[in-house]
Structure 1
Amino acid sequence: MLKEERQAFIMRQINLHNKVLSTDISTMLSISEDTVRRDLKEMAEDGRILKVHGGAIGRSFHYPFNAENMVYAQEAKQQIAEKAIRLLKNDMVILTGGGTTMIELAKRIPENLRATFFTISPLVALQLVEHTNLTVISIGGQLSKSSHVHIGASVINQLADIKVDLCLLGANGFSVQNGMTDSDWEVVQVKRAMIKAAKKLAILSIAEKLNSSQRMKVCDLNLINYLITELPPAHHVLSTFQHLDLELF
């Protein structure tokens, strides 16, 4: 495989999953980790990605408020955000994760909505607090350098003390076979605690991430109440999810 093809593949994986691990890319492409590291170094020097320990992340994910960094599939994420708003009702208590889709949601919340939002993402909190009628509570702890959400035991302990009406999460991997998955063990633990704290769970994901899996399981699909993508619920791409006991938006 040519270098340009390798780097295009790496870039797509970063766009889809926000973060890639060198070991995973090595396995997927059947190349050495040294080759992957050289590619990541070159891509970082070109300003296309940011290198982190063991892999790389996307610039738009790390700096979502920087207009120079194009958000991947931004139009699709905006459509998902518009659909997710239909789940929000006055006086609800809502818990959110982080990521660019969640920021798009926070931008679009109606000004007349009265609700309380807990979030593990300082970036989402900053966007939510612009809305006059929202109470915004940031659940704090160690800030992950790669995912920009709070992680660790203090976050999990705080989550154990609350009960929310609705949890809104993004997914790095989502499939019928493996459920919802992620590549970061600390984030997996926090997401599990978020799910336990919620009466209902909605997953917000661009359709490209469906039928993909990461290394670590977050939960089985039977814990999910709503799957929200940019596609119509009857779209053939969603056919494997249409028979499940969850509502497609």
Structure 2
Amino acid sequence: MLKAERHKYIMTKLIEDQKVVTTDLALALDLSEDTIRRDLNELDSKKLLEKVYGGAIQATEKTVDVFNININAEDEKIKIVTKALSLLHDGQVIIMSGGSTNLVFARLIPSDLNATIYTYSLPIAMQLSQHPNIDLIFIGGKMQKNAMVTIGMDVIQILSKIKADICFIGASSINVKQGLTEIGYEVSIVKKAMIESSDRVVSMFSSDKLNTKMPHVVCELSQLDTIVTDLDPEDLRLEEYRKSGVFVL
């Protein structure tokens, strides 16, 4: 297959799935992963996509004002997080991962809620810094610039010392067999630590993440207490998740 044909295939898959995984592309095109990585590097240099660990995502324009972050499908995410607001109450210790759905959630937290919130997401920390009654703790560490979250051992050590009532964790992918999975290894490790430190685990995500997978496992489905999506809880697409014992909101 010619390079131009490979590039066209990669860009088509990216438009269809919003992301591509190196191993999947190598399998589909019957090529080595090194060849695929070179193709992704070239497309990244042309700003046609954004190369990330294990694959690539669609290229996005960076906003100049970090307080004014553009959110794709914001109405859908508002529908998701509005359901989860019922899980909040005064006095909770909460951990929040990064991601645009959790950022929308942070924006909608009622102004009269008194709680302590830990986060390693810079955009979420900035949003919550304006909340009048939230005791906010930002977990510092090495900054992963594309996602604006901190990663590394510093983050994990702090998380290991927290005893949280509930955590709200974003999902890149989820399926019944593998549970939550992530494209990035370091983020998956941080999310594991977050789950270990929390009594209750809630994952909020759009329905297009259902029945998909990424290279790095975060947790099995049994470790989730609640999942929140844009679908009706009785939707047939959620049937296997309900059967697994997870509560669907």
TM range (shorter): 0.7 to 0.9
Q: Residues 69, 123 of structure 1: CA spacing in aligned structure 2 closer, same or farther, 3 A cutoff? A: closer
Alpha-carbon separation, structure 2, partners of 1:75 and 1:62? 21
Task: State the SS of the aligned residue for 2:13.
Answer: helix
Q: Residues 107, 246 of structure 1: CA spacing in aligned structure 2 closer, same or farther, 3 A cutoff? A: same
The aligned residue for residue 9 of structure 1 is 13
* Residues 43 and 49, structure 2, Cα contact 8 Å, conserved in 1: no
Alpha-carbon separation, structure 1, partners of 2:44 and 2:180? 29
Q: Which runs of 5+ in 1 are unaligned?
A: none
Q: Which runs of 5+ in 2 are unaligned?
A: none
Number of positions where the alignment pairs a residue of Structure 1 with one of Structure 2:
244
Q: Residues 61, 131 of structure 1: CA spacing in aligned structure 2 closer, same or farther, 3 A cutoff? A: farther
Q: Residues 225, 97 of structure 1: CA spacing in aligned structure 2 closer, same or farther, 3 A cutoff? A: same
Q: Residues 217, 39 of structure 1: CA spacing in aligned structure 2 closer, same or farther, 3 A cutoff? A: closer
Task: State the SS of the aligned residue for 1:198.
Answer: coil
Alpha-carbon separation, structure 2, partners of 1:215 and 1:38? 19
**Match for 1:7: what amino acid?**
M
The aligned residue for residue 90 of structure 1 is 90
Determine what percentage of the aligned residue pairs are the same residue.
31
Q: Does 2:25 align with 1:25?
A: yes
Q: Could you report, residue by residue, the CA deviation over 1:211-245 in whole angstroms, capped at 9, with x for unpaired residues?
A: 11111211111111100001110011111112122
Equivalent positions of 1:67-78 (< 5 A) are 71-78=71-78
Q: Residues 248, 98 of structure 1: CA spacing in aligned structure 2 closer, same or farther, 3 A cutoff? A: same
Alpha-carbon separation, structure 1, partners of 2:84 and 2:25? 32
- Normalised by the length of structure 1, the TM-score is 0.85
Which stretches of structure 1, 4 residues or longer, exceed 2 Å deviation after superposition? 1-6, 11-14, 19-45, 47-75, 145-148
Select between 95-104 and 61-70 the one with higher mean Cα deviation. Answer: 61-70
* Residues 62 and 146, structure 1, Cα contact 8 Å, conserved in 2: no
Q: Residues 124, 36 of structure 1: CA spacing in aligned structure 2 closer, same or farther, 3 A cutoff? A: same
- Normalised by the length of structure 2, the TM-score is 0.85
**Match for 1:148: what amino acid?**
M
Equivalent positions of 1:128-143 (< 5 A) are 128-143=128-143
Task: State the SS of the aligned residue for 1:242.
Answer: helix
Q: Residues 122, 104 of structure 1: CA spacing in aligned structure 2 closer, same or farther, 3 A cutoff? A: same
Shift of 1:172: 1.4
* Residues 188 and 216, structure 1, Cα contact 8 Å, conserved in 2: yes
Q: Could you report, residue by residue, the CA deviation over 1:90-146 in whole angstroms, capped at 9, with x for unpaired residues?
A: 111110000111111111111111111100111110111121111111111111234
